């Protein structure tokens, strides 16, 4: 795993092994990683003030991307704070108020809405966005100025997208960015263990228990081998 995933540190490999029901101490993994690469810097800690209400809270944000031809494209996403699941995403070069409002509609079908939605004070969120939120009984929580930790989960996801995906890919345009992020989000939601939720996977779909110990372990490449998803197969 260390050779196939140069971006992964000991904690990431530890989570992947736990997913396969292989229990190895993180210290043991670090011991074998040290000869091959420098130790990772410790992860930044964040305030847990939202943890008590995380199951009722979503958050949204933008990630600006410059493509290979120096065109400006924006990635918009909504994340569930409790599970770290990416609820919805889309990309656009023209983020109008009507477009952002439509993203909130698509993220909340059949009344599947949070109680609160955290957003920053960007003027891209206009009256149409506010009306959709109010119509869905969602209370908007605006972050204070210059306080990125108030939307810490989104900031963490922004960093993950950059470090684990976009810094290693030439984005050719809006449609290409959508395809890349679609594959990364599927990996992020369905295969990537998350340290913030005790190495669990946001959308766990595989069988648990003793069945995990059966079958050969196969590596499924993600984003042309930038990452790998390790699974047991019969």
SS3 49: coil
Same-domain pairing of 60 and 162: yes
Same-domain pairing of 73 and 152: yes
Average pLDDT over residues 91-120: 93
Q: What is the pTM of this model?
A: 0.77
pLDDT at res. 225: 93
pLDDT at res. 229: 93
Q: What is the mean pLDDT of the chain?
A: 87
Number of domains comprising the chain: 2
Per-residue three-class SS string for 110-163: HHCCCCEEEECCCCCCCHHHHHHHHHCCCEEEECCCCCHHHHHHHHHHHHHHHH
Question: By percentage, how much of the chain surpasses pLDDT 70?
Answer: 88
Q: Over the stretch 132-182, which tens digit does the pLDDT of each residue have?
A: 999 999 999 999 887 777 888 899 999 999 999 999 999 999 999 999 999
Same-domain pairing of 164 and 72: yes
Please answer whether residues 92 and 85 qualify as being in contact, where contact means their C-beta atoms are separated by less than 8 angstroms. Answer: no
Q: Is 84 part of a structural domain of the chain?
A: yes
Q: Is 34 part of a structural domain of the chain?
A: yes
CATH number at residue 135: 3.30.420.10
Same-domain pairing of 15 and 117: no
Q: How confident is the model at residue 206 (pLDDT cuts 50, 70, 90)?
A: low
Look up the domain containing 38 and give its range: 10-42+204-233
Would the pLDDT of 190 be above 90?
yes
pLDDT at res. 50: 59
- Distance separating alpha carbons of residues 29 and 31, to the nearest angstrom: 5
Q: Which residue has the higher pLDDT, 215 or 41?
A: 215
Same-domain pairing of 78 and 162: yes
């Amino acid at each position: 795993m260390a050779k196939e995933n140069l971006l992964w540190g000991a904690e990431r490999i530890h989570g992947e092994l736990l997913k396969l029901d292989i229990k190895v101490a993180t210290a043991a993994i670090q011991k074998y990683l040290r000869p091959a690469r420098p130790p990772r810097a410790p992860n930044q800690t964040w305030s847990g003030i939202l943890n008590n209400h995380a199951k009722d809270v979503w958050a949204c944000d933008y990630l600006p991307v410059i493509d290979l031809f120096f065109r400006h494209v924006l990635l918009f996403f909504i994340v569930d704070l409790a599970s770290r699941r990416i609820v919805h995403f889309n990309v656009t070069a023209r983020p109008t108020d009507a477009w952002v409002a439509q993203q909130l509609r698509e993220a909340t079908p059949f009344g599947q809405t949070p109680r609160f939605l955290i957003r920053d004070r960007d003027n891209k969120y206009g009256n149409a966005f506010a009306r959709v939120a109010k119509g869905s009984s969602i209370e908007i929580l605006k972050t204070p100025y210059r306080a990125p930790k108030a939307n810490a989960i989104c900031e963490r996801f922004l960093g993950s997208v950059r470090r684990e995906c976009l810094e290693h890919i030439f984005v050719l345009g809006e449609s290409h960015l959508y395809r890349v992020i679609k594959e990364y989000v599927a990996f992020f939601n369905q295969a990537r263990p998350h340290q913030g939720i005790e190495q669990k996977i946001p959308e766990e779909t595989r069988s648990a228990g003793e069945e995990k110990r059966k079958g050969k372990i196969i590596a499924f490449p993600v984003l042309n081998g930038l990452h790998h998803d390790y699974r047991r197969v019969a």
